[in-house]
Amino acid sequence: MHNSALHPKFGRIIQDVDLREVTADHLYPEIRALFERHSALLFPAQSISDTDHTRLGELFGPLENRDAMAAGRDVEFQVSELSNQTSGGLRAHDDLHMLNLQSNMLWHTDSTFLPTPALINILTALVVPPSGGETEIASTRVAWAEMPAHLRERLKDAVIWHRLSYSRAKLSADLARLPVMTRWPDRPWRAIWPNPATGQEALFIASHAFAIEGLGHAESQEILEEAIAFCTRPEYVYTHRWQVGDVLIWDERATLHRGRPWNYDHERTLRSICCSVTEADGLAAVRVLNA
């Protein structure tokens, strides 16, 4: 499996794999090993259907189905579409769906507010605008290893609380009040996630992070903002300029990511699948007992 550097500090580009051919016994073990070691993988020029996309996700773990989680019962899984396109044309720039897309332009980790966090996001491009609309990934594993001692000391034993509506309120109070944003109770996780395959630690943080247990609001905000700012310094960030067919995956335990703006008079459509972590992915290390 030929691969090359995605970024000087993390990530790999894999050129010679057709993701439609990957099975549990064929190619997946090698892909999974690269994922654990490098945190982000790019597969250019793929041609995957929703069925292929779903099958690939199932190799990594349980498909994340937020509607089923919220309902407490089976709800049919659907691949998530991230798009400014509707059946009637392009969305208004200021409608709530667009504001939610724009909230993904904050540095975040998917699903930190859920009862079970995400292991991976598998994102593919169907329609891309002429310019803009990039996806950026920052390694919180590399950044944690190089973080100043004063920040490491404050975070190494910290418990961080997460709330989806907190990040949405940064863009729109109306968006933050929607039931789909408020249906999850506040969720605590330990700040440091050791990778069980490699032993390397990463900072588990997100735009949804609103408090550090035991600290006041102002002090919490100062530490969280300084930590995210450090993790997203240019030397820790990879910027992906989408081509149709690209498949980009990243380790939610060890990265932050964000979308970038584009001219919303042009369509941009990506499809996304997240998979949930299992005990084998190190969940016990970040779980807060009795939470």
Give the count of beta carbons closer than 10 Å to the beta carbon of residue 5.
12
CA distance linking residue 138 with residue 155, whole number of Å: 18
Quote the pLDDT of residue 74. 86
Q: From residue 115, how far is each of 69, 98, 152, 192 by CA, in Å?
A: 8, 26, 26, 18
80-95 pLDDT, tens digit each: 998 898 877 888 877 8
Residues 46 and 124 sit within 8 Å (Cβ to Cβ): yes
CA distance linking residue 134 with residue 205, whole number of Å: 21
In this structure, the dihedral spanned by the alpha carbons of residues 221, 225, 227 and 230, taken in order and rounded to 10 degrees, is -160
What size, in residues, is the chain?
291
Residues 13 and 42 sit within 8 Å (Cβ to Cβ): yes
Residues 49 and 247 sit within 8 Å (Cβ to Cβ): no
- DSSP for 162-195? E-HHHHHHTT-HHHHTSHHHHSS--EEEESEEE-
Q: From residue 275, how far is each of 1, 110, 117 by CA, in Å?
A: 24, 10, 9
* Per-residue confidence in pLDDT tens, the chain, 291 aa: 899 999 999 999 999 999 999 999 999 999 999 999 999 999 999 999 999 999 999 999 999 998 888 878 888 999 999 889 887 788 887 788 888 888 899 999 999 999 999 999 999 999 999 999 999 999 999 999 999 999 999 999 999 999 999 999 998 999 999 999 999 999 999 999 999 999 999 999 999 999 999 999 999 999 999 999 999 999 999 999 999 999 999 999 999 999 999 999 999 999 999 999 999 999 999 999 876
The architecture CATH gives domain 3-286: 4-Layer Sandwich (3.60)
Quote the pLDDT of residue 291. 61
Quote the pLDDT of residue 1. 84
51-71 pLDDT, tens digit each: 999 999 999 999 999 888 887
164-174 pLDDT, tens digit each: 999 999 989 99
Token digits of residue 126: 């169907």
Quote the pLDDT of residue 63. 97
- Candidates 50, 55, 56, 103; CA nearest to 79 is 50
Residues 181 and 207 sit within 8 Å (Cβ to Cβ): no
Burial of 85 (0-12, 13-18, 19+ CB in 10 A): middle
Q: Taking phi first (over 0 means left), then psi (-120 to 50 degrees means alpha), and beta for anything else, what does residue 65 get? A: beta
